[in-house]
Amino acid sequence: MTTVDRRRPAGRWRRVDGWRTDGRAVAAWGVGYAVLGAGCALGGTPLFGAAAVGWAVAAVGLAAAAAGAVLGAAGPGRAVRGVLWTLCGLAAAGAFGLLMDAITLLFGQGLDSGPGAAEHALAALGAGLLAAAARSGTAPSAGTAPSAGSHSAGSHSAGPHSAGPRSGASRPAPSAASGTVQLAALAGSAAFVPYVVMKLCWASGGTFAGMSGAEMHAASVRNGASGVWLTLESWGLDGTALLAGLGVFLLWGLVRPWGQAFPRWTLPLAGRPVPRWLPLVPALLGVATLAPYGAVGVGWSALATAGVVEVPRGDFPTAADTLLVAWIGLGAFAVYGAALAVAARSYWRRTAR
């Protein structure tokens, strides 16, 4: 007698479970985000410079909680996906400044605003959850899940190694980005050269833009730089120059094949495939912070150069010196941020299962 397997296809179960799991995660995040925003608004704590922004944060959180509830109950329909992607964009915008918070924690004595840093981190988490939820329920790729008819008598004769295309299609072979994308990476790398030269000039005791290394060190102490920062300066190094080097390493890892599998001299994943999300997390964080920060800064620098806005002198001898440093730093952030966005998109497409 032939036994009929009445179980649902494994892929179907995974998709339904994914809807429910993603829905609960988004709903829980939305409630937490709404509580943070409402608490800041009621307590008069400014977010992005104004306490009233807390109500906007609370509204995004409540909308996410509602969307998560609908997702868990009814699945990802087209309207639900549209709402989730919209909320994802808003959450990504709310994460602006997270990279600066991380740098401040690393090299400074404390955060400018604890609630603001919490909002940045929670918004970044929410952007990831919302993006995952918006993509949930998509049909599995070929070979990912067995179909209802895959449990036929013939399939049992293949033995334990009958996974077929699943093992072969689970991970694309490492590949390089197109020539255009690599040119963008080259531009993003080159944009940091003047910035690194300027920073290392100060760290080594030289003078740039009318300010000597000793004066820059005194300004760092006056502005509350951490012991790590001051120690690096004493060694002739600059913390942000080192971070720029790491940023360039990340950029080329996104466009070259070695970025999809760590070389053997690296640990702890030597010779193994890199999890797809691992380079994308810092890449998207850098894009969300540096691209808009640099673009707005370049716009301000252009207006200042044209004499439309006044340039604050700050610690520099003249306004022209301040403007020179602004062009070098903000220009590097703008070009690198744009190149990182192009590279991250290419990496996402090349590593898609």
Split at pLDDT 50, 70, 90, the class of 103 is confident
Per-residue confidence (pLDDT) for residue 263, from 0 to 100: 64
Per-residue confidence (pLDDT) for residue 164, from 0 to 100: 39
Split at pLDDT 50, 70, 90, the class of 95 is confident
Calculate what percentage of the chain has a pLDDT beyond 90: 40
Residues 6+ apart with CB under 8 A from 21: none
Per-residue confidence (pLDDT) for residue 180, from 0 to 100: 96
Of the segments 5-9, 97-101, 168-172, 209-213, which one has the largest average pLDDT value? Answer: 209-213
**Cα distances (angstroms) measured from residue 316 to each of 194, 236, 319, 321:** 18, 21, 7, 6
Per-residue confidence (pLDDT) for residue 139, from 0 to 100: 43
Helix and strand numbers (H, E) in the chain are 13, 2
Split at pLDDT 50, 70, 90, the class of 152 is very low
Give 326: exposed, middle or buried? Use CB within 10 Å, 0-12, 13-18, 19+. Answer: buried
Instruction: Examine the pLDDT at 321 and tell me if it is beyond 80.
Output: yes
Per-residue confidence (pLDDT) for residue 343, from 0 to 100: 96
Instruction: Examine the pLDDT at 8 and tell me if it is beyond 70.
Output: no
**Domain regions of the chain by residue span:** 10-135, 179-350
For the residues 195-222, what does the mean pLDDT come to? 89
For residue 295, what are its two tokens? 């673009």
Answer yes or no: are the C-beta atoms of 57 and 89 closer than 8 Å.
Answer: no
Instruction: Examine the pLDDT at 203 and tell me if it is beyond 70.
Output: yes
For the residues 218-225, what does the mean pLDDT come to? 78
Backbone angles phi, psi at 191, to 5 degrees: -65, -25
pLDDT in tens, 230-285: 788 778 888 888 999 999 999 999 999 988 876 655 556 556 666 777 888 889 88
Least confident window among 31-45, 143-157, 199-213, 316-330: 143-157
Per-residue confidence (pLDDT) for residue 145, from 0 to 100: 39
Split at pLDDT 50, 70, 90, the class of 220 is confident
Instruction: Examine the pLDDT at 77 and tell me if it is beyond 70.
Output: yes
For the residues 78-100, what does the mean pLDDT come to? 88
Split at pLDDT 50, 70, 90, the class of 301 is very high
Instruction: Examine the pLDDT at 165 and tell me if it is beyond 60.
Output: no
Q: How many CB atoms lie within 10 A of CB 300?
A: 16
Taking the C-alpha atoms of residue 283 and residue 340, their distance in angstroms, rounded to an integer, is 7
Least confident window among 5-19, 21-35, 88-102, 320-334: 5-19
Average pLDDT of the chain, as a whole number: 81
DSSP 171-206: SPPP-PPPHHHHHHHHHHHHHHHHHHHHHHHHHTT-
